[in-house]
Amino acid sequence: MTAVMVQGCTSWAGKSLLTTALCRWYARQGLKVAPFKAQNMSNNARVVDGGEIGVAQWLQARAAGVEPDVRMNPVLLKPEAGTSQVVRLGRVGAELSRRPWRDRSEALWPTVEAALTELLAEYDLVVIEGAGSPAEINLAANDIVNMRVAERADAPVLLAVDIDRGGAFAHLYGTWALLPPSQRERIRGFVLNRFRGDASLLPPGPEQLERLTGVPTVGVVPMIRHDLPDEDGAALRAPARGGLPPVAIVRYPAASNLDEFALLEQVADVRWATAPWHLDGAGLVLLPGSKHVASDLAWLHASGLAPAVVAAARAGVRVLGVCGGLQLLGRRLEDPFGVDGSGDGLGLLPLTTTFAPDKLVRRRALTLPAFGSPWVPLSGLPVDGYEIRQGRTVDEDGAEPLVVAAGNVAGWYLHGLFEDPAVLEALFGARPTRTLDATFELLADAVEAHLDTELLRSLAGAS
């Protein structure tokens, strides 16, 4: 029953990336490692046995070399208009989703505690990721993700700060100072994350900070160029690739599962489209998943992107919708149960979607059908993906297609196909050269080079 926890002074301090790196590094030491994040907030999710979890924990499990499990992210909050959908142990909790935020925590804590207890019993080490900051004193009474978890797991804490933002030493000291003494004692090391610059300029900052707090700085991690998606999946890192028309991914406000397009950056010049002119010159227009299809449809019209997408399709540009994007490309959205909203779709595919209260969450393998131009290279490819959706979509014959194409417009319900090298090669004539596993190794190498590995071993009881 051993655990190590990564907390941050702020959101976007690099907790997820550092946790992923530690999962792979500890696994390289011969330990059976599980990731854990009590509560995540993201519209990017992956389907595992039992339901859906945040993509960060899915990646961390892959880094650790173990099968992702709903217990690794027992609570997932998926933002909606004015509230959030609560996913508990992989499944939507409708009653919990209706509760005010502050009333949810005590109801969710038994689920968090049980999942953590089971993982601690089954694995040599659980690497835990916090959320936001442990020093959000206005939220301390409702904490189920930071120090309350560290105390339950009896976990030492590494506190990370994004030094690239500036004010790193103040962030570290202020976070430490706002915690009660018993929680301060859990912090065993500070990590200066995302550093770029002259390391000789850091002294005497770390030494003075240690004199004030008693906590050493145990690592200065450089800014690492990697291929993992950011938490919201919408930060482009790859340089533009010449010679190919760009891929324009329409980023509506409730866009979901944007992380699945991270590999696409290796084979195409990707841009996020939030205005009509962002489609200019595109060789492919992508409509991604949506957590709120009707509101995103309204946004498409308000922004002028709805007619721009239709015009691009009529001009012969390839247009492809994934899940909610497929629904948007259809003729009509019906909502008899008040789940999402009704409205006329973009009318580019002969489909009608009727929303239903039940959410479909499953993995799905299939062989793509025979396509006409310009999708011929996709014909007959075996693919493996996952569905996260509400609603039933039918074509003119009443059939419920998972994949549909009409000329240069196509759509599929499966997420994850843009992570399949064969699909990318069929669409763009090239395969990604950098694998997910190579990225995990890169991150573990950074741990080895830039953190106090003897301390890491001692925290895990491995020295």
Asked whether 224 and 12 are in contact (CB, 8 A), the reply is no
Give per-residue pLDDT as tens, 441-450.
999 999 999 9
Query: Residue 266 domain-assigned?
Result: yes
Give the mean model confidence (pLDDT) for residues 182-201.
94
**Domain contains 376:** yes
* In a shared domain, residues 210 and 116: yes
**Are residue 444 and residue 426 in the same domain, yes or no?**
no
Instruction: Give the pLDDT band of residue 238 (cuts 50, 70, 90).
Output: very low
Rounded distance between C-alpha atoms, residue 320 and residue 295, angstroms? 19
Same domain, 95 and 192: yes
Residue 263 and residue 130 share a domain: no
Q: Note whether 95 and 209 are same-domain residues.
A: yes
pLDDT band per the 50, 70, 90 thresholds, residue 234: low
pLDDT of residue 438: 93
The answer to whether residue 55 sits within a structural domain is yes
User: Per the structure, how many domains does the chain have?
Assistant: 2
The answer on 359 and 263 residing in a single domain is: yes
Residues 323-362: tens digit of each pLDDT: 999 999 999 999 999 989 999 999 999 999 999 988 999 9
pLDDT band at 95 (very low <50, low <70, confident <90, very high): confident
Kindly report the three-state secondary structure assignment for every residue of 366-395: EECCCCCCCCHHHCCCEEEEEEEEEEEEEC
Q: Are residues 192 and 306 in the same domain?
A: no
Residues 316 and 349 in one domain: yes
Residue 235 lies in a domain: no
Do the domain assignments include residue 238? no
Query: Band of the pLDDT at 199, cuts 50, 70, 90?
Result: confident
Burial of 110 (0-12, 13-18, 19+ CB in 10 A): exposed
Q: Is residue 178, in this structure, part of any structural domain at all?
A: yes
Q: What is the model's pLDDT at position 240?
A: 46
Q: What is the CATH number of the domain that holds 55?
A: 3.40.50.300
CA 334 to chain centre: 29
Q: Give the active site residues.
A: 323, 415
Bigger pLDDT: 198 or 424?
Answer: 424
CATH of the domain at 324: 3.40.50.880
Determine if the pTM surpasses 0.75: yes
Residue whose structure tokens are 């996709």: 378
Q: Are residues 153 and 295 in the same domain?
A: no
Assess whether 361 and 302 both reside in one domain: yes
Q: How far apart are CA 171 and CA 174, in angstroms?
A: 5
In a domain, 400, yes or no: yes
- 149 and 269 co-located in one domain: no
Q: Which residue has the higher pLDDT, 244 or 366?
A: 366
Residue 240 lies in a domain: no
Judgement on whether residues 277 and 364 belong to the same structural domain of the protein: yes
pLDDT tens, position by position, 255-308: 999 999 999 999 999 999 999 999 999 999 999 999 999 999 999 999 999 999
Q: Among 124-128, 173-177, 357-361, which is the least confidently predicted range? A: 357-361
Range of the domain at 318: 247-433
